Amino acid sequence: MVEKTLALVKPDGVEANHVGEILDMYEKAGLKIVALKMIKVNKEFARQHYIDLKDKPFYQELVDFISRSPLVAMILEGEDAVNTVRGVNGATDPSEAAEGTVRYKYGHGKTDNTVHGSDSVEHAKREISMWFPEFLDSYLDD
Ligand code: IDP
Ligand code: MG
C-alpha cells in the first residue's frame, strides 16, 4: 500500500553532517520526499512527540537529546513506507542494527541513534499532523 510516514534525522545526525547521505538512502529505497524542513524543537514539543515513552527511565534524556540542536523532519511516501523507513534506519540500539543501515553506520548509542521513523500508519498520521500541521488537510484523508 502506498502510505506516508514521518522520518527525522536527529540532532546527532545533523551535527555529524550525515543529512545528505541519509536522504539519499531513503530515496534509493524508493521513497519520495514530499515534505522537508529543518527545525529545532523545544522540550514541550519533544515531550509530546515521545509521549508514549513518558514512563521510561530514559524519557528526560531523550527529550533533552532531541531538542538540543536542529534536526531534519520529513514526510516520506511510497509503497510500505513505514516499514521501508524502519528497515533503512535499522534496530533501535545501534549495536544491534544490521550492517548497511543508518544506525549501524552512524548511531552512537541507545538514545542518540541518528534517525526516527514512525512505527505504524496510525502513528505516522499523528506524527505528520504534529510535525507538519500545514499539510494536515491534504494528507490525512489519503
Ligand atoms: P524506535 O526509534 O526504533 O522506534 P522506540 O522504542 O520507539 O524506538 O524509542 C524511541 C527512541 O527512544 C529511540 O529511537 C531512542 O532514541 C530512544 N530509546 C529507546 N530505547 C532506549 C533505551 O533503552 N535507552 C535510551 N534511549 C532509548
Ligand atoms: Mg518508535
Q: What is the pLDDT of residues 38-91, one digit of tens each?
A: 999 999 999 999 999 999 999 999 999 999 999 999 999 999 999 999 999 999
Q: From ligand 1's centre to the CA of 81, what distance in Å?
A: 20
Q: Does domain 2-140 sit in CATH 3.30.70.141?
A: yes
DSSP calls for 76-98: EEEETHHHHHHHHH--SSGGGSP
Instruction: Write down the pLDDT at residue 134.
Output: 86
Query: What pLDDT score does 36 carry?
Result: 97
Query: For ligand 1, is residue 111 a contact (CB within 6 Å)?
Result: yes
Exposed, middle or buried: residue 17 (CB in 10 Å: 0-12, 13-18, 19+)?
exposed
Question: How many Å from the N-terminal Cα to the C-terminal Cα in the chain?
Answer: 11
Ligand 1, atom nearest to 92 Cα? 3
Q: By alpha-carbon position, which residue is closest to atom 22 of ligand 1? A: 110
| Domain regions of the chain by residue span | 2-140
Note the pLDDT of residue 135. 80
Percent of the chain topping pLDDT 90: 93
Q: Is the pLDDT of residue 141 over 70?
A: no
If residue 3 lies in a helix (H) or strand (E), which one and from where to where? strand 2-9
Which residues sit opposite 84 in a β-bridge? Answer: none
pTM of the model: 0.96
Percent of the chain, pLDDT > 70? 95
Amino acid letter, residue 53: L
Give yes or no: 49 in active site: no
| pLDDT at residue 126, rounded to an integer | 96
pLDDT digits (tens, 9 = 90+) for 46-59: 999 999 999 999 99
pLDDT for the residue numbered 50: 98
